[in-house]
Structure 1
Amino acid sequence: MPLSEHEQRLLDQMERALYAEDPKFASALEGTGLRTYTRRRVYLAVAGFVVGVGLLMGGMVVPDQIWVSIVGFLVMLGCAVFAVTGWRRGPASQGSGPRQAAAPRRKAGMMDRVEQRWQRRRDEQTGGF
């Protein structure tokens, strides 16, 4: 669903404010892109998971090679963890989400300032209501 014109303007304002406040962080977000990073990580995890399934099945088929099945299961487990941790935490989003409490104080201060500016602009647009 496309954004309305008003929502697009607000998003552009937020983007400009982010570039003005912390250009290094903004360029890190822009870099290769969080989606590209996450997509690549998930593709690798899925490929590894398929290899793990192959090892698991191969260990079941070959007699006296149960250790291959165990390795396959461990590969599958590792790939699942790899995919989930990549989904929760990308390269530039380590200060957001549930891990925000562990972020440095400077980041929290920057976010507070951005929120205050956002609220001020919103109040100015609505006439202070």
Structure 2
Amino acid sequence: MPLSEHEQRMLEQMERALYAEDPKFASALEGGGLRTFTRRRVYLAIAGFLIGIGLLMAGMVAKQTWVSVVGFLVMLACAVLAVTGWRRATRPGEHPPAPAGRRIGRRQPRRGKVMDRIEERWQRRRDEQGQ
């Protein structure tokens, strides 16, 4: 159910009041902390991938197959974590890649405000349920 004009005005007023009262908290709500956490997770996954390569090579040199298998599994898991984490770590104002099946001609408002993003997600969910 879309918001009425009155409800939209109230939400915009609450957003402005939040920015005026505590701009640091409001900017934290925009996802900067999550992006930092995700970026850190990607870097740890890359380090784990390198450790997996080391285990794989050590298993081959020592002729211990199980060590090589463990190294390969560590590499695989870290590669998956790095790729999925990197896709989530978009900067504010950037558009994440459009999922397949999305309509191309659709307007996508991205003004960087919390309430605009919430409203966009709400509309996307409604559109997906209606299909």
What's the TM-score, normalizing by structure 1?
0.49
Which of the pair is proportionally richer in helix? 1
